[in-house]
Structure 1
Amino acid sequence: MKITSVLLGVCCVIFMSCGEEKNNTVETETKDATEQSARISAKTIENIEYNDYALSPEGENAVVTWEKHQELATQISYLKRGDFSFFNGDKEQLKKFIEEFKSQLPEGLKTNPVVSRNAIVETTLLKLNENLTLDNIERTAQLVSIKEMFVAFSNLNYQINKKLERDMYDKIQPE
């Protein structure tokens, strides 16, 4: 009788320890899947929906001397392909870029709407940098920051187009 109860006890211990190994593998697989889904790919960025305004030909001519606008446009095109190197780099370099971005604004575009859109681009650049460099920021928050960056730059282009269009209509004299 004692041998049967000891054997039954040993079998229970072995059975219970086997169950723990299964749980560990499931947890490991779940963590691996979570880490892979936490990565932001170009395809994920491609699926972000927003209104993308391009510069008109007049707008292109107006910003041709604004080197930092051209550089930011290039970096945003890289961001759309999943390259975060500019946006998650050194914060001091990003601040230097922002200062040059603001100071190089062409005189013809220095209106309140364009200057305010510049400030929004500055804010979203810094926010995106923080969200991409900190480890404890969730993937959804990073995606929202990326979308905000796209929207801010697009709206800056829209304001430049609008300003140039208004200037063109102001030049038209009634007969």
Structure 2
Amino acid sequence: MKIGLALLNICFLVLISCDNNKANGEVVDNENTNKKTLITAKAIENFNYSDYVLSTDGETAVADWEKYQEFAIQISYLKKADLSFFNGDKELLKKFIEELKAGLPKNLETNPIVSRVAIIETTTLRLNENLRLDNISDQDKLKSVKEVVVAFSNLNYQINKKLERDKYDKIQSEY
């Protein structure tokens, strides 16, 4: 009888001590969440990259490319740390990117520009996945944001480069 009572007391003490550890674990988890760096406009502003904007010829060339215009607006929101477009439904994002690729103007269909659009697709979908998963660190999410912003900037650079090359190809030598 004394052995049974002693075993019951030991089991009771083990259960009580397990409960205390669980409560301490929750406090530690809350402390770790508060220490995370957040995705802010200031953090995005501090990215080190060359931000290319379209030239006036480039703006004219993409004026009728509606999905490009929408994506440019979303990139400007992304730079202000508004992740709602990239954080949304993956299927809607895929549909948007397909429409972006399909709406590419014929005069801009060159291998460098098509490849930049493919890179935008890849980085955008990766950002969507990273934002939707809870176990991805904020540093990795920031890295994904930077990849999307850089990919869009590189698309602008390729558009400018192509249009400039076309302009200089039209110039005839005087000799």
| Superposition TM-score tier, normalisation by shorter sequence | 0.7 to 0.9
CA distance in 1 between partners of 2:149 and 2:33 (Å): 25
Runs of 5+ consecutive residues of structure 1 not aligned to the other structure: 1-16
1:12 corresponding residue in structure 2:
none
Runs of 5+ consecutive residues of structure 2 not aligned to the other structure: 1-16
Percentage identity across aligned positions?
64
Q: Equivalences for 1:55-70 in 2 at 5 Å?
A: 55-70=54-69
Q: Equivalences for 1:5-154 in 2 at 5 Å?
A: 24=24, 28=27, 31-36=29-34, 37-154=36-153
1:11 corresponding residue in structure 2:
none
Task: Specify whether residues 50 and 72 from structure 1 end up closer, same or farther in structure 2 by C-alpha distance, changes over 3 A only.
Answer: same
CA distance in 1 between partners of 2:165 and 2:116 (Å): 17
Residue type matched to 1:67 in 2?
Answer: E
What is the CA-CA distance between 1:119 and the residue it aligns to?
0.5
User: Secondary structure at the residue paired with 2:64?
Assistant: coil
What is the CA-CA distance between 1:76 and the residue it aligns to?
0.7
Q: Equivalences for 1:150-169 in 2 at 5 Å?
A: 150-169=149-168
CA distance in 2 between partners of 1:79 and 1:46 (Å): 10
Residue type matched to 1:56 in 2?
Answer: S
Q: Which whole-Å deviations, capped at 9, do the CAs of 1:131-167 have from their partners, x for residues lacking one? A: 1111111111111101100110000000000000000
Structure 1 stretches of 4+ with a deviation exceeding 3 A read 30-34
User: Secondary structure at the residue paired with 2:97?
Assistant: helix
2:169 corresponding residue in structure 1:
170
What is the CA-CA distance between 1:102 and the residue it aligns to?
0.2
1:5 corresponding residue in structure 2:
none
TM-score with structure 1 setting the length:
0.82
What is the CA-CA distance between 1:47 and the residue it aligns to?
1.5
Residue type matched to 1:133 in 2?
Answer: R
User: Secondary structure at the residue paired with 1:155?
Assistant: helix
CA distance in 2 between partners of 1:130 and 1:109 (Å): 29
Q: What is the root-mean-square deviation in Å for CA atoms of aligned residues?
A: 2.0
Q: Which whole-Å deviations, capped at 9, do the CAs of 1:29-62 have from their partners, x for residues lacking one? A: x644532324312222221221100000000000
How many residue pairs get matched?
154
